[in-house]
């Protein structure tokens, strides 16, 4: 069977599985739709959280970025995994003990203000749409290459599938679909990594192969990282393992991006809402532990995958005649995600750090998907990776769409505008909101502002600047007031969004104009600090929280199960 036939078979089988789970888990109550009836076992919630968390950015784009950024790419590993430690220690058990449906609901009750709740809804929707744009783009890329359709057509396929299982099963359907998607994506990531590690370094464990000698090809006898550094030097590129050197990110930008990703992780509403679905605060802690374990399987493999792909791609393409380029090159070239410009007219592909001499442009988003083909692995492995990429993108997209729909139906209409609305009408509105959110997400998937992982990094910055300070102060401070919270959220997300829009959407500045040398991906750290400062500052000059709020804080912080 060809790669395309294998892809149709595997993707079709996984899609049928997801739809079957959605039909089986169809809900008839708002508790089932919003929080899966709060009966999900900790280990299942850990797997679902892993799938919810490991989006297209993690599966498709992260290793691709590490492949091009080298040492700088560790910001994603440190930021995204470190954020889970903050989440487990500072927020997950407390929010579960609070025991409602959404993050804006907690903000509204803790800060005794419908205005604070509305601001939180706005932040949740803004962050979620930014994040989901990257997921839908990832879906389009996978479909474009492996089913040989336009990227936009692929986005439409993804929209249709998410629409079915997100609106039918709500959180219950999404949870058990994500358990299946985690299984698919982790096997899809590890199997080619093990095969390529065995082929290049003689060890089947990618994490060990990453630090081992190359046993095949022109770099045999060199340690893998020494080999990639040597290749980079010969091509005029910054050393792969070099840190804070010319051509790479500055130390302050590395620190800012890592911090933004870390605190953004702990403030993402679609991750936080997962801890509402387990039976107790104790189960929430265990969920975080299981999730970190499941996520760690992929994250510790990513640097090896990135380096394998980088070495294989350069050795396969650099110096090769375009007419004799491998089939996978021509297939990806048709998608527009890899391009060759014969600047010297000799018909040879040349890859170089010198822009004038470089003839090859490669989108980082293709590296993981193309890796099995570059390494000449069997067609079924290539198709499995495609199914894994789709599972990663769709699982996260579904979680984000649920946040958007619950923010609209529960936080706005049921709680503020039409509190007399029946449960049946609220459930219908939640499904309609999810459907509308799918359409908007599809638009942003077709018109993304940047690479998948970069778009996702913006979402983390926005979450860091809006939710993290308010949630942490909401649990651990008895003096933070509603006026302070509203001012803090608006300041944090307003500043961060304006900075990102100025540089990335409008394109009005260059890296030389970055404030303090901090890129748009890392500006969420400054937004977070501003949020803390404004919230605490305004709280000092406004009336303290009422007695019932102090009692709420004492209750959620009291040790218990």
pLDDT tens per residue, range 125-171: 888 877 777 777 777 777 776 667 777 787 887 788 777 766 776 77
Q: Please enumerate in sequence order all residues whose Cβ is within 8 A of that of 234, keeping only pairs 6 or more positions apart, or say none.
A: none
What is the SS3 assignment for 66? helix
Instruction: State how far the alpha carbon of 409 is from the alpha carbons of 67, 96, 173, 200, 440, in Å.
Output: 42, 21, 18, 53, 17
Cα–Cα distance between 461 and 187 in angstroms, integer? Answer: 30
Instruction: Quote the strand ranges of 288-411, DSSP E.
Output: 338-340, 360-362
pTM of the model: 0.80
- 469 Cα distance to chain centroid: 21
- The full length of the chain comes to 561
Cα–Cα distance between 100 and 35 in angstroms, integer? Answer: 9
At 343, give phi and psi (nearest 5°): -70, -35
Tell me which residue of 256, 228, 299 sits closest to 68, measured CA to CA. 228
Tell me which residue of 203, 193, 233, 222 sits closest to 63, measured CA to CA. 193
Query: Percentages helix, strand, coil for the chain, rounded to the nearest 5?
Result: 75, 0, 25
Tell the residue number behind the tokens 């009408």, with chain if given.
Answer: 425
Cα–Cα distance between 445 and 156 in angstroms, integer? Answer: 9
pLDDT tens per residue, range 258-298: 998 888 887 777 777 788 788 887 888 888 888 888 888 88
Cα distance between the two ends of the chain: 53
- Maximum CA extent, the chain: 79
Each of the 561 residues of the chain gets a pLDDT tens digit; together they read 777 788 888 888 888 888 888 778 777 777 777 777 777 888 888 888 888 777 777 777 788 888 888 888 888 888 878 887 888 788 888 887 777 778 888 888 899 998 888 888 888 888 887 777 777 777 777 777 666 777 778 788 778 877 776 677 677 778 888 888 888 888 888 988 998 899 889 899 999 988 888 887 778 888 988 988 888 888 888 888 877 776 678 889 999 999 988 888 877 777 777 887 888 878 888 888 888 888 888 888 989 988 988 888 888 888 888 888 888 888 888 877 788 888 888 888 888 878 888 888 888 877 888 888 888 888 888 888 888 887 877 777 777 887 888 888 888 888 888 888 888 888 888 888 888 888 887 887 777 655 555 667 677 788 888 888 999 999 999 999 999 999 999 999 999 989 988 887 777 888 888 988 898 888 999 999 999 999 999 999 999 999 999 998 888 887 765
Cα–Cα distance between 242 and 238 in angstroms, integer? Answer: 7
Residues 163, 302: contact at Cβ < 8 Å?
no
What is the SS3 assignment for 387? helix
What six digits make up the tokens of 555? Answer: 């209750």
């Amino acid at each position: 069977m060809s790669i395309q036939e294998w892809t149709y078979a595997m993707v079709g089988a996984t899609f049928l599985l997801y739809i079957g789970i959605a039909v089986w888990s169809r809900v008839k109550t708002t508790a089932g739709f919003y929080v899966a009836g709060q009966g999900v076992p900790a280990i299942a919630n850990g797997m679902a959280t892993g799938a919810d968390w490991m989006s297209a950015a993690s599966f498709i784009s992260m290793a691709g970025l590490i492949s091009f950024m080298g040492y700088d790419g560790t910001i994603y590993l440190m930021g995204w995994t470190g954020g889970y430690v903050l989440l487990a220690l500072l927020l997950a058990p407390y929010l579960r003990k609070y025991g409602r449906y959404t993050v804006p609901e907690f903000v509204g009750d803790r800060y005794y203000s419908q205005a604070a709740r509305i601001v939180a809804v706005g932040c949740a929707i803004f962050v979620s749409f930014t994040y989901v744009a990257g997921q839908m783009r990832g879906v389009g890329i996978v479909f474009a290459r492996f089913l040989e359709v336009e990227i936009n057509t692929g986005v439409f396929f993804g929209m249709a599938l998410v629409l079915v299982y997100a609106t039918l099963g709500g959180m219950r359907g999404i949870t058990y679909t994500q358990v299946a998607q985690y299984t698919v994506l982790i096997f899809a990531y590890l199997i080619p990594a093990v095969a390529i590690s065995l082929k290049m370094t003689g060890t089947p464990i990618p994490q060990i192969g990453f630090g081992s000698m190359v046993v095949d090809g022109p770099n045999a006898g060199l340690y893998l990282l020494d080999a990639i550094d040597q290749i980079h030097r010969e091509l005029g590129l910054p050393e792969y393992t070099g840190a804070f050197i010319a051509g790479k990110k500055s130390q302050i930008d590395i620190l800012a991006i890592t911090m933004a990703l870390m605190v953004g992780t702990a403030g993402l509403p679609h991750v936080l809402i997962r801890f509402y679905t387990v039976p107790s605060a104790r189960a929430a802690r265990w969920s975080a532990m299981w999730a970190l374990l499941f996520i760690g399987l992929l994250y510790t493999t990513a640097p090896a995958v990135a380096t394998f792909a980088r070495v294989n791609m350069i050795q396969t393409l650099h110096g090769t005649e375009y007419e004799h380029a491998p089939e996978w090159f021509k297939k990806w070239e048709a998608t527009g995600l890899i391009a060759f410009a014969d600047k010297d007219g000799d018909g040879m592909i040349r890859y170089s750090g010198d822009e004038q001499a470089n003839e090859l442009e490669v989108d980082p988003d293709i590296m993981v998907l193309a890796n099995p083909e570059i390494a000449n692995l069997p067609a079924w492995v290539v198709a499995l990776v495609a199914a894994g990429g789709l599972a990663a993108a769709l699982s996260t997209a579904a979680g984000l769409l649920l946040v958007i729909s619950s923010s609209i139906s529960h936080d706005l209409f049921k709680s503020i505008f039409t509190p007399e609305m029946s449960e049946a009408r609220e459930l219908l509105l939640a499904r309609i909101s999810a459907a509308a959110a799918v359409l908007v997400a599809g638009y942003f998937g077709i018109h993304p502002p940047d690479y998948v992982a970069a778009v996702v990094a913006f979402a983390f910055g926005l979450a860091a600047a809006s939710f993290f300070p308010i949630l942490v102060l909401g649990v651990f401070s008895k003096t933070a007031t509603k006026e302070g919270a509203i001012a803090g959220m608006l300041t944090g997300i307003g500043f961060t969004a304006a900075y990102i829009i100025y540089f990335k959407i409008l394109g009005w500045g260059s890296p030389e104009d970055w404030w303090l040398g901090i890129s748009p991906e890392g500006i969420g750290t400054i937004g977070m600090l501003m949020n803390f400062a404004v919230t605490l500052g305004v709280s000092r000059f406004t009336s303290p929280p009422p007695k019932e709020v102090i009692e709420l804080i004492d209750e959620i912080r009291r040790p218990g199960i």
